[in-house]
């Protein structure tokens, strides 16, 4: 019978399949950060249990670390970071702590280190774990109780998710990015369109993407409500992985390649659902509301809730416009911003920073706009500095920070003030996400960079973004 | 986890779509390392204004919602972040059951793991339940019989995954349950040595 990538990974990892119960699935890699793990470790201790496979676990500090030099001044954040350090020491889990040199956002460092590999099952107490699916892994976010479960058993009881093929057909126009592809798809699919499903992204427009861009796509699978997102591994995947610290070498590398080449879905495999999006007419996207499905073209206008037929969606749109301080019919390009954030597990890898730097080179951030670049990891930061990207950003008036989740969720000091409007390369425009009363618009790194220069949303494909 | 069989209590209605876990428990409260005490932060930014005063326009601030045990919510409730703190906060605030047309996947699992019951009802059925539930009306959720007895006495049947129902009714610790498969896990591990050893990387 023809199989999907999901079928193959799932079947390889079933430890037990008791009748009428969820399957017990083996977890190849457990990623850990400071925010969702302390209660899990405490639960282990209370139950007298231990960590079954510390060598399949990896921890980092990312969510609430400050991105400016200096100590952690917030006592609660400090206590949480210290708890992670103690827990990792007690249970023998490798910790990539602040200052290690390879620390960073958990979904950036996993691929960078090469611990994220095709065919694996990967979990983390973080919904953007779907990022790792870009390598042809089954990777999904879990809650703290499940973190504890994996620590204790290296397994998780899981109901087999349904599969959905999301086909990106057509050729991506110049200046339109992976971020626009996924925002455009979520705009059509909706924030609940993927619930219960693992999305497999296919099509020529996916095959043409770099690994960094594929990670951007898979990262936002959860914003369509999906359990996970994945892309079949190919030569692009293998080229990215070869030579990474945890990648196999020599004969083991050849064996791994043989294995990974057999993972892709069969051409005639059946999916539980299909979704098709033609990217040839796609334009740069900007969100206007408080969920990622509330998105339009940067060349478009703020929509009118009255035009929506679903009463729930209409009410949500009205509330969103009120929160966002926007009027229906406003040209997106007439909306000014106070802040620009380039960062997060969605868009803080080296390619993202290169793309943004190319837009700002030789220009200046608009008067009154405060703009921030937060590399996704210490390694990305180092590489960017070697390439001189930090100098380009600083010369243009951007702040250049240390790695972390930063203003994506504002657990550290990087937050929006009440009423401030931000062009952000992150993944969630929920109310208060970047700070109470803050107004977030999700965009690509190119659009964020062009907006920082212009002071308002602007089509990054147009050359005239100089002030 | 303590067993759940049924609950009788007043109903609160939050009829908004796509309520994300960032609203249920904002990020500033995720720095705690304890599992308890999150109830006072539930829907913090919706419930309280910048000065910490209750917002009169927020549904759960209505006087009749005080002490509610059953929350009737909109579609895709609990979408977004995986933070289990959202489930902890709802439970700590006093809710024992959440009923909605659909839930975010991770949120629903988190609720199940702590014994907070989530029930999916078709939108039209939920609407009739909501119509009967204003003014602090009392309903009963009976997981054993799989019915909700609405405030006017009608019985509304609901579907629930049989395994989850079994675990909830018996308050089962599912880590202990997985550990019953110790031999199978060990056999799997022996047959699948794996390619990655994080401890071989130089951590600090």
pLDDT of residue A200: 98
Give the ipTM. 0.97
Distance from C-alpha of B188 to C-alpha of B54, rounded to nearest angstrom: 54
B195 CB near a chain A CB, below 8 Å? yes
DSSP A352: H
Q: Are strands A57-60 and A399-400 parallel, antiparallel or unpaired?
A: unpaired
Distance from C-alpha of A175 to C-alpha of A30, rounded to nearest angstrom: 36
Low-confidence ranges of chain B (pLDDT < 70): 203-204
Closest CA to B6 of B133, B138, B101: B138
Which residues does residue B117 pair with via DSSP β-bridges, in sequence order? B97
3-state DSSP call for residue A317?
helix
Distance from C-alpha of B166 to C-alpha of A338, rounded to nearest angstrom: 52
Look at the block and give the residue holding tokens 């000065």: B51
pLDDT of residue A463: 61
Distance from B40 to chain A by nearest Cα, in Å? 17
Distance from C-alpha of A297 to C-alpha of A332, rounded to nearest angstrom: 8
Distance from C-alpha of B171 to C-alpha of A312, rounded to nearest angstrom: 35
Distance from C-alpha of A212 to C-alpha of A177, rounded to nearest angstrom: 11
pLDDT in tens, A46-67: 999 999 999 999 999 999 999 9
Phi, psi of A167 (to 5 degrees): -100, 120
pLDDT in tens, A385-432: 999 999 999 999 999 999 999 999 999 999 999 999 999 999 999 999
pLDDT of residue B1: 81
Nearest to A411 among B18, B30, B105 (CB): B30
State the pTM of this model. Answer: 0.97
Distance from C-alpha of A378 to C-alpha of A101, rounded to nearest angstrom: 6
Residues of B in contact with A195 (CB under 8 A): 76, 102, 104-105
Distance from C-alpha of B144 to C-alpha of A52, rounded to nearest angstrom: 36
CA distances to B12, B58, B76 from B102, rounded to whole Å, are 17, 22, 5
A155 CB near a chain B CB, below 8 Å? yes
Nearest to A411 among B27, B104, B114 (CB): B27
Which residues does residue B103 pair with via DSSP β-bridges, in sequence order? B77
Distance from C-alpha of B107 to C-alpha of B59, rounded to nearest angstrom: 21
pLDDT in tens, A356-395: 999 999 999 999 999 999 999 999 999 999 999 999 999 9
pLDDT of residue A462: 76
Distance from C-alpha of A270 to C-alpha of A163, rounded to nearest angstrom: 9
Element (H, E) at A174: none
Phi, psi of B66 (to 5 degrees): -60, 130
Distance from C-alpha of B172 to C-alpha of A300, rounded to nearest angstrom: 53
Look at the block and give the residue holding tokens 């917030």: A74
Residues of B in contact with A154 (CB under 8 A): 185, 189
B186 CB near a chain A CB, below 8 Å? no
* Helix axes A445-454 and A350-360, enclosed angle (nearest 10): 30
Residue A205 near residue A169 (C-beta atoms within 8 A): yes
A433 CB near a chain B CB, below 8 Å? yes
Greatest CA separation for chain A: 66
B152 CB near a chain A CB, below 8 Å? no
Residue A139 near residue A234 (C-beta atoms within 8 A): no
Where does residue A327 rank: exposed (0-12), middle (13-18), buried (19+ CB within 10 A)?
A: exposed
CB A26 to CB B185 under 8 A? yes
Interfacial B residues in 74-93 facing A (CB < 8 Å): 74-76, 79-85, 87
Per-residue pLDDT of chain A (467 residues; tens, 9 = 90+): 999 999 999 999 999 999 999 999 999 999 999 999 999 999 999 999 999 999 999 999 999 999 999 899 999 999 999 999 999 999 999 999 999 999 999 999 999 999 999 999 999 999 999 999 999 999 999 999 999 999 999 999 999 999 999 999 999 999 999 999 999 999 999 999 999 999 999 999 999 999 999 999 999 999 999 999 999 999 999 999 999 999 999 999 999 999 999 999 999 999 999 999 999 999 999 999 999 999 999 999 999 999 999 998 999 999 999 999 999 999 999 999 999 999 999 999 999 999 999 999 999 999 999 999 999 999 999 999 999 999 999 999 999 999 999 999 999 999 999 999 999 999 999 999 999 999 999 999 999 999 999 999 999 997 654 44
Contacts of B99 (CB under 8 A, 6+ apart): B70, B71, B72, B73, B118, B119, B120, B121, B126, B129, B141, B148
For the record, the structure tokens of A381 come out as 């930061």
pLDDT of residue B195: 85
pLDDT of residue A57: 98
């Amino acid at each position: 019978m023809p199989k999907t990538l999901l079928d193959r990974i799932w079947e390889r990892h079933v430890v037990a399949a008791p009748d009428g119960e969820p399957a017990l699935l083996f977890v190849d890699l457990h990623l850990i950060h400071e925010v969702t793990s302390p209660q899990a470790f405490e639960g282990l201790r209370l139950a007298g249990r231990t960590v079954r496979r510390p060598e399949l676990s990896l921890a980092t500090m990312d969510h609430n670390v400050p991105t400016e030099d200096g100590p952690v001044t917030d006592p609660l954040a400090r206590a949480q970071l210290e708890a992670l350090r103690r827990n990792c020491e007690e249970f023998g889990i490798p910790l990539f702590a602040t200052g290690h040199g390879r620390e960073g956002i958990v979904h950036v460092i996993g691929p960078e280190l090469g611990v994220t590999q095709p065919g694996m099952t990967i979990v983390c107490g973080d919904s953007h774990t779907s990022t790792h699916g870009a390598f042809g892994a089954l990777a999904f976010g879990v809650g703290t109780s499940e973190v504890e479960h994996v620590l204790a058993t290296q397994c998780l009881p899981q109901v087999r998710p349904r599969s959905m093929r999301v086909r990106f057909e057509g050729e991506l126009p110049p200046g339109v990015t992976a971020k626009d592809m996924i925002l455009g798809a979520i705009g059509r699919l909706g924030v609940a369109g993927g619930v219960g499903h693992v999305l497999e992204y296919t099509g020529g427009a996916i095959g043409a993407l770099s690994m960094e861009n594929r990670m951007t796509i898979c990262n936002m699978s959860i914003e369509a409500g999906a359990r996970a997102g994945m892309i079949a591994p190919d030569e692009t995947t293998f080229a990215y992985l070869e030579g990474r610290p945890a990648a196999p070498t020599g004969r083991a590398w050849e064996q791994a390649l043989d294995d990974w080449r057999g993972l892709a879905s069969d051409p005639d495999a059946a999916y539980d659902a299909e979704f098709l999006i033609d990217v040839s007419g796609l334009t740069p996207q900007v969100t206007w509301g408080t969920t990622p499905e509330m998105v339009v073209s940067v060349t478009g206008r703020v929509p009118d809730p009255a035009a929506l037929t679903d009463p729930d969606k209409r009410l949500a749109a009205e509330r969103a416009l009120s929160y966002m301080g926007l009027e229906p019919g406003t040209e997106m390009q007439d909306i000014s911003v106070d802040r620009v954030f380039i960062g997060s597990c969605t868009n803080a890898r080296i390619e993202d920073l290169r793309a943004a730097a190319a837009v700002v080179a030789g220009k200046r951030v608009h008067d009154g706009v405060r703009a921030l670049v937060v590399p996704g990891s210490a390694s990305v930061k180092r590489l960017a500095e070697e390439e001189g990207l930090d100098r380009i950003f600083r010369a243009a008036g951007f702040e250049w920070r240390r790695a972390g989740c930063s203003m994506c969720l504002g657990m550290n000091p990087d937050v929006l003030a009440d009423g401030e409007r931000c062009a952000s390369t992150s993944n969630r425009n929920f109310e208060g996400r970047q700070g109470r009363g803050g107004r977030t618009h999700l965009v690509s790194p190119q659009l964020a960079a062009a907006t920082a220069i212009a002071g308002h949303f602007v089509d990054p494909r147009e050359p005239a973004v100089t002030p | 986890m303590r067993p759940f069989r049924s609950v009788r209590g007043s109903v609160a209605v939050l009829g908004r779509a796509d309520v994300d876990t960032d609203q249920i428990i904002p990020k500033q409260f995720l720095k705690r390392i304890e599992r308890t005490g999150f109830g006072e932060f539930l829907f913090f930014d919706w419930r309280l204004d910048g000065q910490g005063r209750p917002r009169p326009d927020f549904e759960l601030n209505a006087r009749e919602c005080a002490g509610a045990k059953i929350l009737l919510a909109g579609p895709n409730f609990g979408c977004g972040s995986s933070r289990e703190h959202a489930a902890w906060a709802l439970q700590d605030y006093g809710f024992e059951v959440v009923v909605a047309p659909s839930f975010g996947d991770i949120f629903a699992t988190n609720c199940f793991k702590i014994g907070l019951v989530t029930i999916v009802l078709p939108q039209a059925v939920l609407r009739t339940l909501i119509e009967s539930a204003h003014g602090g009306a009392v309903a009963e959720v009976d997981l054993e019989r799989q019915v909700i007895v609405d405030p006017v006495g009608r019985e509304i049947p609901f579907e629930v995954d049989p395994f989850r129902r079994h675990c909830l009714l018996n308050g089962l610790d599912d880590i202990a349950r997985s550990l019953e498969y110790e031999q199978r896990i060990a056999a799997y591990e022996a047959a699948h040595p794996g390619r990655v050893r994080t401890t071989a990387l130089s951590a600090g």
